[in-house]
Structure 1
Amino acid sequence: MRWTIKPIPEKQEIQKLSDELKVNTLVAQLLLQRGISSYKEAKRFFRPQLTDLHNPFLMKDMDVAVSRIEQAITSHENILVYGDYDVDGTTAVALVSSYLLQEYPNVATYIPDRYGEGYGVSLKGIDFADDNDFSLIIALDCGVKAVAQVEYAKQKGIDFIICDHHRPGESLPAAVAVLDPKREDCNYPYDELCGCGVGFKLVQALASNKGQTIENLIPYLDLVATAIGADIVPITGENRVLAFFGMQVINSNPRIGFQAIINQVKKKELTITDVVFIIAPRINAAGRMEHGQHAVNLLTETDLQQAERFAAGIEKYNFDRRSLDQEITQQALSQIRTNKEEERFTSVVYQENWHKGVIGIVASRLTETYYRPTLVFTKSGDKLAASARSVKGFDVYNALQDCAECIEQFGGHKYAAGLTLLEEQFGTFKARFEKVVAETIDPQLLTPEITIDAKIELNQITPKLMRILKQFAPFGPGNMTPVFMAENVQDTGYGKGVGEGGKHLKLSVTQKGSKPMGAIGFNLGDSIGRIKKKNRFDIVFHLDENEWQGQVNLQLKLKDLK
């Protein structure tokens, strides 16, 4: 792995902020590296306020969207809340529908079938709306590219309000309103909201017109925080405020559906990392293995016993999903090795019977193994569908744009995308994608990078430092968990491999006579030979707490060692 140390701010800057905040210079350095250079900015970072949220009417088309929904309610129209089948989409549908249903009964939800309809706004969904007398569709986490679908709906007398956060295409759909902070003509101050976040801004605008305050909307923030974590959007600016208060809701008064999941996993205090790895996969599993509507049912349920029955069903989907993704990952790795493709700049694999619901996870696993832009294809109807994943620093969405002549449809983000193409185009696309990536990627991006915040001495690590670092949370893109480097450490002699087959490394390290500190390195068990005989080595780690028999001790969570 590449070890890259972040630029260190000027000493005078560090000292100035250290004096102003009355914190040590290490904490001041970490804050400056996050763009925080004053008391006012630090206060906003450590003590987010709901008043820091922007006025939702600053978003282009928000006034039109609110007016159309209010008109629909006054006229007793049927409203269909439509969203994608992943965590961002299902949480957004749960949020907007449950808010509207508080005071207006003519609201239903629709999640497209991953296999029968695919991603985004479908003609089948519009036909469902037409057959059931819905005259307004609110599309969440999708729709900004649905030009043809919105036109089809217009012909049937159905209006659209689109709430999306993906990049628009060359032209916008002819919807009543297109709420998307990534629109070029939208001057909203923060453009990194997730789909559920855009849905929340719509609800915030509706609420303000009714004289409600932001405090009235706090119970919905558990949904927003979950979507922010699952969709891997930056946890900066407005997202940080939403995630901060959303995590408080999850840990103090979560909605019944979340409580049912938490009861199953038996975890006391959840971090946003727990949300990403415990709650989000279970919500996602519904859409992957069965249907995303199951997730919406769980997230909107108000009876705990019923929610626990829903959660048990989703737990089974999640178990099946894990088995399936492990099996397909092994088949995909075997395909890469059999075809001797290890030396390529990309991984592009295909098998027609792979389960469409897990190919995104498999693409992530292959990226972890070979660390290069990756696509996993399967058959979907009469076409091929793929999930794309990228490596840090490389924009896979732009690469797909350069292959557009081979693709039927695509959409997504810098690091994750989805696409469909005709089967006869697969070979052409695979060659073209390899050529585009080979010509545009910086070769060093094909080696995983660890970004290090600061070099420190082990004796700088104290319970007080840990207490301050915990206040940096919630962590995520734009505010990652601080990573440290310590040089010339040595094992005290207790180092050993632990876990199945000694897969993990457990040791106790000292440095220049410092007190021994416990350390754990997951998947670093094969490094045991490099630390024996009291060899000196450098480590990269973040700080963690280890609870054992009621005792909580600091430990180093190793990311790499040299």
Structure 2
Amino acid sequence: MRWNVKPKPDAERVNHLMEVLKVDEIIATLLVQRGIETYEQARAFFRPSLDDLHNPYLMKDMDKAVSRIEQAIENEENILVFGDYDVDGTTAVSLVSGYLKSFYPNVATYIPDRYDEGYGISYKGIDFAEDNGFSLIIALDCGIKSIEHIDYATAKNIDFIICDHHRPGDVLPNAVAVLDPKREDCTYPYDELCGCGVGFKLVQALAQHRNQTIDDLMVYLDLVATAIAADIVPMTGENRVLAKFGLDVINSNPRPGIKALIQNVKKKVLTITDVVFIIAPRINAAGRIKHGNEAVALLTEYDLDQAAQFAAEIEQHNSDRKDLDKQITVEALAQITQNNETNRFTTVVYQEDWHKGVIGIVASRLIETHYRPTIVFTKSGDKLAASARSVKDFDIYNALEAVSEHLEQFGGHMYAAGMTLKEENYPAFKEAFEKVVEQTIHPDLLIPEVSIDAEINFTDINERLMRLLNQFEPFGPQNMTPVFMTKNVIDTGYGKTIGQDDEHLKLFVKQNNSEGIGVIGFGFGNQLPITKNHQPIAICYCIDENEFNGTVSLQLRLKDIKPN
């Protein structure tokens, strides 16, 4: 890996924080790196408050959205809450429908079928609304590019409110209200909300209109925190506030569906990382393997026994998903080797029988082996559908936009996107995508990078540092778990490999005359030789707490290792 040590921030700013916060240089440095330079900013960072949430009516079209929903309630119209089949979409649908149903009965939900309808607003969903007497559709985590779909609905006298967070195209859909903080004409102070976050702002606005307070909405924050974690949006501003209080709900009084998903987890306190790796994949598995409706059913179920039954079914879907993504990853890696494509700037693979529900996961797996912008295609009806994933600092959305003449449709973010194309266009697209990436990517971006916050000595590591680092949570993009580097490290002779196939590395290391400290390196088993014979090494790592037999001790979780 490339080791990128962040430059030391301005000494004056660091010293100022050291003085006003009474913290040491390491903590002050980490704060300045995160844009925190004043006592007030530090207070907001360490003590997030629901008072820090912005007024939802600052979002463009929010007044129109609330007015149309209140009109629908007054006229006893049927409201359909429509959302994508992933975690962000299904949590958003569960949140908005759950809130509306708390005081209005004529509300139903609709999640499109990943295989039959594909991503986003579908003509089938609009036809369902018409056939069942729905005159208002609230679309969540999708719709910002659904120009023709909205026109189709308008012709059937069905109104749309769109709540999205994806980048708009040149033209906005002709909906009653378009809530998207990424709209160029929207001056909302924070534009990094996820789809469920935008849905929450709509609920917050409705609650204000109905003289409710934020306390009345706390029960929905477990959903918002789950979506923020799963959608990998920046852990800053409102996202950090909502994630922090949502985590508190998950750990204290989660809804029955989430409680059922985590009942076998032995940890006392779940972190955002646990949400990413335990809760989110299971919610996602419903839409990947069966149908996103199952996720909404789980998240809106208030009977604990019924929720446990739903959770057991979703657990089976998740197990099936794991088997599928392992199998397809093996096949995709073999295809790359057989086609002599290991030296390309991109990875683009296709097999018509690959399961559409796991190709996004497979794309991420391929990046672990071949660190390139990656797209995995499969057959979907008479078209090819794909999921794309990118490497750090490369905007795959812009690259797709540059070759969009080969695509039927596409959408997404800097690091993840989805698309469809005609099968006959696949070879031309593959070469055009390779060409545009080759022309625009910096060669350094094709080597995995570990970003290091600071170089420290083992003598700097103590319980007080750990307590302060814990207060940096919740972690996520733009507020990642701090990574440190230490040189002149020597294993004391206890180094060994552990785990199935000896894939992990366990060390007990010292630096100069420091006390020894344990190191765990997941996936670093093959690096054991460079630690032998008291050879000095350099390591970069996160500081962890390890609980064993009721005793908690500090340990280092390895990010990379190399000879000194």
Tell me the TM-score normalized by structure 1.
Answer: 1.00
- Aligned counterpart, 2:459: 459
- Aligned counterpart, 1:248: 248
State the distance in 2 between where 1:167 and 1:311 align. Answer: 33
Shift of 1:170: 1.2
- Aligned counterpart, 2:273: 273
- Aligned counterpart, 2:181: 181
State the distance in 2 between where 1:244 and 1:369 align. Answer: 34
- C-alpha distance after superposition, 1:118-158 (max 9, x if no partner): 00000000000000000000000000000000000001010
Q: Is the partner of 1:539 in helix, strand or coil?
A: strand
State yes or no: 1:96 paired with 2:96. yes
State the distance in 2 between where 1:174 and 1:10 align. Answer: 48
State the distance in 2 between where 1:51 and 1:547 align. Answer: 35
Matches for 1:369-388 after TM superposition, within 5 Å: 369-388=369-388
Q: Is the partner of 2:268 in helix, strand or coil?
A: coil
State the distance in 2 between where 1:264 and 1:541 align. Answer: 29
- Aligned counterpart, 2:523: 523
Matches for 1:422-433 after TM superposition, within 5 Å: 422-433=422-433
State the distance in 2 between where 1:500 and 1:95 align. Answer: 41
Shift of 1:476: 0.2
- Aligned counterpart, 2:557: 557
Matches for 1:188-337 after TM superposition, within 5 Å: 188-337=188-337
Shift of 1:440: 0.4
- Aligned counterpart, 1:367: 367
Shift of 1:16: 1.5
- C-alpha distance after superposition, 1:172-191 (max 9, x if no partner): 11000000000000000000
- Aligned counterpart, 2:493: 493
Shift of 1:266: 3.9
- Aligned counterpart, 2:474: 474
How many residue pairs get matched? 562
- Aligned counterpart, 2:450: 450
Gaps of 5+ in 2: none
- Aligned counterpart, 2:68: 68
State the distance in 2 between where 1:235 and 1:76 align. Answer: 39
Q: Is the partner of 1:467 in helix, strand or coil?
A: helix
Q: In the alignment, residue 126 of structure 2 is paired with which amino acid?
A: I
State yes or no: 1:8 paired with 2:8. yes
- Aligned counterpart, 1:153: 153
State the distance in 2 between where 1:408 and 1:509 align. Answer: 55
Matches for 1:401-420 after TM superposition, within 5 Å: 401-420=401-420
- Aligned counterpart, 1:397: 397
Shift of 1:267: 3.5
State the distance in 2 between where 1:110 and 1:547 align. Answer: 44
State the distance in 1 between where 2:115 and 2:145 align. Answer: 20
Shift of 1:369: 1.0
State yes or no: 1:346 paired with 2:334. no
Shift of 1:13: 2.0
Q: Is the partner of 1:264 in helix, strand or coil?
A: coil
Shift of 1:268: 2.5
Shift of 1:7: 1.6
- Aligned counterpart, 1:53: 53
Q: Is the partner of 1:546 in helix, strand or coil?
A: strand
State the distance in 1 between where 2:128 and 2:367 align. Answer: 38
- C-alpha distance after superposition, 1:506-558 (max 9, x if no partner): 00000011000000001001011000000001000000011110000000000
Q: Is the partner of 2:372 in helix, strand or coil?
A: coil
State the distance in 2 between where 1:23 and 1:482 align. Answer: 16
- Aligned counterpart, 1:356: 356
Q: In the alignment, residue 64 of structure 2 is paired with which amino acid?
A: V
State the distance in 2 between where 1:236 and 1:69 align. Answer: 30
Shift of 1:501: 1.7
Shift of 1:368: 1.4
State the distance in 1 between where 2:150 and 2:265 align. Answer: 41
Q: Is the partner of 2:20 in helix, strand or coil?
A: helix
- Aligned counterpart, 2:19: 19
- Aligned counterpart, 1:111: 111
Q: In the alignment, residue 491 of structure 1 is paired with which amino acid?
A: D
State yes or no: 1:127 paired with 2:127. yes
State the distance in 2 between where 1:548 and 1:158 align. Answer: 59
State the distance in 1 between where 2:59 and 2:11 align. Answer: 40
Gaps of 5+ in 1: none
Q: In the alignment, residue 286 of structure 1 is paired with which amino acid?
A: A
State the distance in 2 between where 1:367 and 1:326 align. Answer: 14
Shift of 1:265: 3.4
- C-alpha distance after superposition, 1:52-83 (max 9, x if no partner): 00000000000000000000000000000000
State the distance in 2 between where 1:455 and 1:267 align. Answer: 31
- C-alpha distance after superposition, 1:13-46 (max 9, x if no partner): 2111101101111101110000000110000000
Q: In the alignment, residue 418 of structure 2 is paired with which amino acid?
A: G
Q: Is the partner of 1:128 in helix, strand or coil?
A: helix
State the distance in 2 between where 1:423 and 1:266 align. Answer: 47
State the distance in 2 between where 1:253 and 1:102 align. Answer: 18
Tell me the TM-score normalized by structure 2.
Answer: 0.99
Q: Is the partner of 1:541 in helix, strand or coil?
A: strand
Q: Is the partner of 2:487 in helix, strand or coil?
A: strand
Q: Is the partner of 1:108 in helix, strand or coil?
A: strand
Q: In the alignment, residue 344 of structure 2 is paired with which amino acid?
A: R
Shift of 1:294: 0.1
Shift of 1:238: 0.7
Shift of 1:10: 2.2
Shift of 1:215: 1.3
Shift of 1:9: 1.2
Q: Is the partner of 2:264 in helix, strand or coil?
A: helix
Q: Is the partner of 1:421 in helix, strand or coil?
A: strand
State the distance in 1 between where 2:40 and 2:346 align. Answer: 45
- C-alpha distance after superposition, 1:99-118 (max 9, x if no partner): 00000000000000000000
State the distance in 2 between where 1:102 and 1:17 align. Answer: 46
Shift of 1:312: 0.0
- Aligned counterpart, 2:434: 434
State the distance in 1 between where 2:16 and 2:359 align. Answer: 50
Q: Is the partner of 1:478 in helix, strand or coil?
A: coil
Q: Is the partner of 1:542 in helix, strand or coil?
A: strand
* Identity rate, percent: 67
- C-alpha distance after superposition, 1:425-473 (max 9, x if no partner): 0000000000000000001000000000000000110011000000000
Q: Is the partner of 1:138 in helix, strand or coil?
A: strand
- C-alpha distance after superposition, 1:216-267 (max 9, x if no partner): 1111111000000000000101111000100000001111100000113344
Q: In the alignment, residue 154 of structure 2 is paired with which amino acid?
A: K
Q: Is the partner of 1:162 in helix, strand or coil?
A: strand
